[in-house]
Amino acid sequence: MMKSYVIRRELFRTMLVAATIVAGLGAAGSSFAAEKSLLWVQPMRDHPVHRLMQAGFLAKCKELGYTCEVVGNPSATSYDVAASIPLAEAALSRTQFGAVAVYGPGPEIFPYIGKLGKEGLPVVTWHVLPPEGSVPGLKAATGEDIKAAGANAADAMGEKMGGKGTIALTQGSSNDTENTMAEAFHNEMKAKYPEIKILDTQMEGFEPSAAESKAVGILQANADVTGAFSTTGNGIQTWSGAARKAGREVVIIGMDYIRQNLDIIKAGGAYGIVAQPLYEEGAKTAEIGAALAEGKTVPYMNPLPAKVITAADLDPYYKILDDAGQ
């Protein structure tokens, strides 16, 4: 009986040690999974500009050895925060992420960033640079210097127009990013080219045919318009199509080096674009998110340059698109 008791006692001790080891491994595995996983939350997920940002994020994730997931309402035209948050919550319920990247061009998504922060998840945003402390829960931001981008567009357009003429200015919607850029464009043009007139800003929206129709209407109502600046990614397509339909010569500058925009500039349908660092923003977001997931300290502000490019400058941007599979 004593021998049987000793055997049972040793067997129990062995099982207890094994269970402790397994539990420890499970905890370590959970921590490792969290450290090596990042979530990207982006309403209007399928917009071409957003896909280019995501390509940079996913490529950098792979380089860093992270498993990353992209969620957002599956649309190229509808920016829907309410439909995107449940998708993010579903992803968070099945995976322990080390950090979350949340696209926040406007205040409607800020409460969700705050919620994630209260839950202990470090959050980084991109494409906008909210002042530090202005968005509860936000640990870091990366993106272009928006004011500089607007000023660069004004400089390029004012020079091309010879300091005279009338400019139509359109935005995709009223949001922090586009509002700031449009204001910077106005201020720079007024300071450098005061003889150029700028029409009141119009919202072109994100639906291509509706945006083009609105631009045609602006041209028909304003025979003096000789320039157009759009602060949204489809703006070059909007204005080049409108100018063609209206039979007008218009100096057009828009945003974003997506392939359709580069092709339009190459063909002479538009003058230039502000080369927002879209792919680079995604890559930097992954880099910052990985550092936060690993408990590292990162700078809050991480600005990236954005210059105006014209037909002579396109080749490096075609290469970025080729490498990103865009």
Prediction pTM value: 0.71
pLDDT digits (tens, 9 = 90+) for 155-196: 999 999 999 999 999 999 998 889 999 999 999 999 999 999
What total number of domains does the chain contain?
A: 2
Residue 8 has pLDDT above 60, yes or no: no
165 forms beta bridges with 196
Residue type, 268: G
Residue closest to 231 by CA, chosen among 184, 281, 161, 181: 181
225: which 2 tokens?
């318009």
Q: How many CA within 13 A on the CB side of residue 319?
A: 4
172 is a domain residue: yes
108 is a domain residue: yes
Q: Which residue's entry shows tokens 């057009």?
A: 252
Distances (CA, A) of 40 to 43, 84, 178, 288: 10, 11, 22, 12
Residue 141 has pLDDT above 60, yes or no: yes
* 45 vs 66: CA distance, rounded Å: 21
Per-residue pLDDT, averaged over 283-296, amounts to: 97
φ, ψ for residue 237, nearest 5 deg: -65, -40
87 is a domain residue: yes
Tell me the residue range of the domain where 209 lies.
147-274
295 is a domain residue: yes
Residue 18 has pLDDT above 90, yes or no: no
Indicate which CATH number applies to the domain containing 92. Answer: 3.40.50.2300
- 95 and 198 in a single domain? The answer is no
26-36 burial, b for 16+ CB within 10 Å, e for fewer? eeeeeeeebbb
- 111 and 172 in a single domain? The answer is no
Residue 143 has pLDDT above 70, yes or no: yes
245 is a domain residue: yes
- 171 and 209 in a single domain? The answer is yes
194 is a domain residue: yes
Predicted pLDDT of residue 25: 36
Band (35; pLDDT cuts 50, 70, 90): low
318 is a domain residue: no
